[in-house]
Structure 1
């Protein structure tokens, strides 16, 4: 399944989110932390899928085997195959709340947000203590601009002492969007504690540091994000923002160019590159 297993104590009281208009940051986080990526890379391999297929061939009524293979297909980016396996797992066991949540994530990747919400709702009807479903539904709500519903879901998971960093990352993004950067920094710090090998928390915290005028800490966080994974466009674009703010147009343009190379559709990188090339 697509979750994490580390623990961290958290304060019991959480501040109320006040949705205030703020200036948009130069780059924004939209990626969710730890979803398909939380499956070990080997689980999406053709060898592992073949092994799981052998299990299913021996026992075609094994709902768990379909669920695991569906997760492997999801990790490999074979979303249609994943969907078929989760459908089968649920047909065999209609109370399989984990399979509903996994299928919801595939619906989301395929752009079917209504089906994703319906599957998360069904998962929670079966098990209203399943933090993964609250977090996943919260991500759908957040990306749809339904911030209050998203906050409620993240808060519910956090109150259940979830160890899934996506809850803190998601809530941090909401705080960041509303200009509550100190709260955002605290949530991103928790994200980092739970997933120190992932760049998301560093990028999020860096952007809030940057919004507060703390360029040094922002720059340090963006550099760590790049060191952890140099293939993430957002990290390079964020680094470029610091260079640009410092007046180092040449380095800013180079970092924006790297971000645009990694993701030609990443607008902050494309816009930043055009901007720095004009002024360079």
Structure 2
């Protein structure tokens, strides 16, 4: 068992993760002949780390859970399990498995409330799920998710804009204006100007809406060419077209 662990560690240090995982798996396979639970815990812990490095967080979480069960007094396995949960939660978030991501990230925070990245990633998962729920017409659960996101990241302009969108979608335009205003205090984001303009338009405050759409265009012009700039420009152009009939006509020259 010791030889396999040494070979596995050396392989991992060289970046040969396949061989490292094979060596650690050999130790796990020796389970009936390994007397010390600690050897197994070490093998699971090392293999879990290799799985994280190889981009397989689901396998890593399983190994870290095994290591912690075998050696609960070793804090390092708890720390690695937290890393595994965060990695798997992030992977699930990328696949839009929002419920799974939230479950993993909440588990990570339950084990280590001071983790540096788990709160930010969990907040993003809540915000995305909130927007999905709003699209499905589930406004109350959507707003609950955005409240959780903002509790984790109260200074996030993106989450404030997301909640503003949901409030506006629910017809709560005055409340939406408050979130957009807070977002704009954090930076001149085009999405906040655009969202606030939409709510001002819905409230019949047409000149103010026009001013916000102009600011949205200015903010968009600062972005590099790409999908976000093109999409934002299309939205603002459409909104300005809807607003035009409600503005005073300019006198002919």
Normalised to the residue count of structure 1, the TM-score between the two structures is 0.51
Maintained 8 Å contact 1:154/1:171: yes
2:104 corresponds to 1:136? no
In structure 1, what is the equivalent of residue 241 of structure 2?
240
Q: Unpaired runs of 5+ in structure 1? A: 1-55, 67-84, 109-114, 249-280
TM-aligned CA deviation for residue 226 of structure 1? 1.5
Distance 1:241 1:135 in 2: 29
Counterpart pick for 2:15 among 32, 35, 58:
58
TM-aligned CA deviation for residue 219 of structure 1? 0.9
- Greater helix fraction, Structure 1 or Structure 2: 2
TM-aligned CA deviation for residue 63 of structure 1? 6.9
In structure 2, what is the equivalent of residue 121 of structure 1?
103
Q: Secondary structure at the match of 2:137?
A: coil
Following superposition of structure 1 onto structure 2, how do residues 77-88 of structure 1 map, counting pairs within 5 Å? Answer: 85=55, 88=56
Counterpart pick for 2:191 among 186, 190, 200:
200
Question: Alignment length, in residue pairs?
Answer: 167
Q: Unpaired runs of 5+ in structure 2? A: 1-12, 18-48, 62-80, 114-118, 222-229
Q: For the structure 1 residues 161 and 89, does the alpha-carbon distance in structure 2 shift closer, same or farther, using more than 3 Å as the test?
A: closer
Normalised to the residue count of structure 2, the TM-score between the two structures is 0.56
1:59-94 deviations in whole A, cap 9, x for unaligned?
Answer: 74467766xxxxxxxxxxxxxxxxxx4xx2443355
TM-aligned CA deviation for residue 127 of structure 1? 1.9
Bigger relative CO (Cα 8 Å, ≥ 6 apart): 1
Distance 1:135 1:229 in 2: 23
In structure 2, what is the equivalent of residue 181 of structure 1?
173
Following superposition of structure 1 onto structure 2, how do residues 7-46 of structure 1 map, counting pairs within 5 Å? Answer: none
TM-aligned CA deviation for residue 160 of structure 1? 4.1
Q: For the structure 1 residues 208 and 101, does the alpha-carbon distance in structure 2 shift closer, same or farther, using more than 3 Å as the test?
A: farther
User: What is the root-mean-square deviation of aligned Cα atoms in Å?
Assistant: 3.0
Distance 2:211 2:16 in 1: 52
Q: For the structure 1 residues 156 and 119, does the alpha-carbon distance in structure 2 shift closer, same or farther, using more than 3 Å as the test?
A: closer
Extract structure 1 runs of 4+ deviating beyond 4 A: 59-66
TM-aligned CA deviation for residue 182 of structure 1? 1.2
Distance 2:135 2:90 in 1: 18
Q: For the structure 1 residues 118 and 162, does the alpha-carbon distance in structure 2 shift closer, same or farther, using more than 3 Å as the test?
A: same
Q: Which has the larger radius of gyration?
A: 2
Following superposition of structure 1 onto structure 2, how do residues 202-221 of structure 1 map, counting pairs within 5 Å? Answer: 202-221=193-212
Maintained 8 Å contact 2:88/2:101: yes
Distance 2:137 2:243 in 1: 27
Distance 1:164 1:65 in 2: 30
Counterpart pick for 1:91 among 34, 59, 77:
59
